[in-house]
Amino acid sequence: AQSVTQLDSQVPVFEEAPVELRCNYSSSVSVYLFWYVQYPNQGLQLLLKYLSGSTLVKGINGFEAEFNKSQTSFHLRKPSVHISDTAEYFCAVSLNTGRRALTFGSGTRLQVQP
Amino acid sequence: GAVVSQHPSWVICKSGTSVKIECRSLDFQATTMFWYRQFPKQSLMLMATSNEGSKATYEQGVEKDKFLINHASLTLSTLTVTSAHPEDSSFYICSARDMGGNQPQHFGDGTRLSIL
């Protein structure tokens, strides 16, 4: 079975500062990796995904993530955050076969302060 | 882009009633849809996988007679919470995956269910 660990439950950061949200996963087989963002009382929006190929993945809203197989990590980064980036961020994995159900991490609350 | 519509967005009802939540893929076909439950300030927990034309697959600990799932077409899945009680109050989110290839899941905006 797969599991996902998001090491930080909350990350406060000042506007225009860089940020990194950490994600580690565990799986005995190959997986796909995702980052989703959730705004209050809304569903999830896909930020980016890693399926294969280049380990540096660029997503929407200026976010990017790097897949590191040796460290089983998929950390999310943004060089300069905005107030509007304040939200809950979820890292998720799925198998690359079968129904590909998602297993989510516990989430990281990004709080951007002026 | 792929859009998933979930309805209603908010429902309040009395204990003992049944509530139906709809999940529609608007611009793609989805043989598989997923239903999640999210408690306040917590992550999403997969409840069941909805398969078009066949029975849903429920996760361990989820009562299939309590949470009825019907996936009658390639664009619609419904979740019915039967005889709802206050402990069923939660945020329910559906997602759908495009039939083709390695497409990611696209999520609806969720349904806030409050049982009085």
As beta bridge partners, residue B58 has: B48
Under 8 Å between Cβ of B111 and B13: no
As beta bridge partners, residue A32 has: A94
Chain A, 15 to 34: residues with Cβ < 8 Å from chain B are: 32, 34
Provide the residue count of chain B: 116
Q: Say what percent of chain B tops pLDDT 70.
A: 97
Selecting from B43, B93, B106 the residue whose C-beta is nearest the C-beta of A107 gives: B43
Strand A87-95 to A56-58 pairing: unpaired
Give yes or no for residue B100 having a pLDDT over 70.
no
Compare B80 and A44 and report the one with higher pLDDT: B80
Q: For position B97, what pLDDT does the model report?
A: 85
Selecting from B43, B97, B104 the residue whose C-beta is nearest the C-beta of A106 gives: B43
| A41/B112 CB distance under 8 A | yes
**3-state secondary structure at position A58:** strand
Give yes or no for residue B102 having a pLDDT over 70.
no
pLDDT band at B51 (very low <50, low <70, confident <90, very high): confident
Q: Is the dihedral of CA B3, B99, A23, B112 positive or negative?
A: positive
Q: Which residue has the tokens 């300030």?
A: B41
Q: For position A86, what pLDDT does the model report?
A: 96
From CA A16, how far away is CA A81, in angstroms rounded? 5
| B107/A32 CB distance under 8 A | no
pLDDT band at B2 (very low <50, low <70, confident <90, very high): confident
| B44/A90 CB distance under 8 A | yes
Per DSSP, the residues of chain B read ---EEEE-SEEEE-TT--EEEEEEESSS--SEEEEEEE-TTS-EEEEEEEETTS--EEPTT--TTTEEEEEEETTEEEEEE-S--GGG-EEEEEEEE-SSTTPPEEE---EEEEE-
Give yes or no for residue A56 having a pLDDT over 60.
yes
How close B15 gets to chain A, by Cα (Å)? 23
From CA B22, how far away is CA B9, in angstroms rounded? 10
**3-state secondary structure at position A62:** helix
Compare A76 and B44 and report the one with higher pLDDT: A76
How close B44 gets to chain A, by Cα (Å)? 7
| B110/A42 CB distance under 8 A | yes
Q: By mean pLDDT, which of A13-22, A82-91, B43-52 is the weakest?
A: B43-52
| B108/A43 CB distance under 8 A | yes
Q: Say what percent of chain A tops pLDDT 90.
A: 78
Strand B57-58 to B67-73 pairing: unpaired
As beta bridge partners, residue A3 has: A26
Mean pLDDT over residues B85-112, rounded? Answer: 87
Q: By mean pLDDT, which of B22-36, B54-68, B100-114 is the weakest?
A: B100-114
Selecting from B49, B102, B112 the residue whose C-beta is nearest the C-beta of A101 gives: B49
Residues contacting B14, CB < 8 A, separation 6+: B115, B116
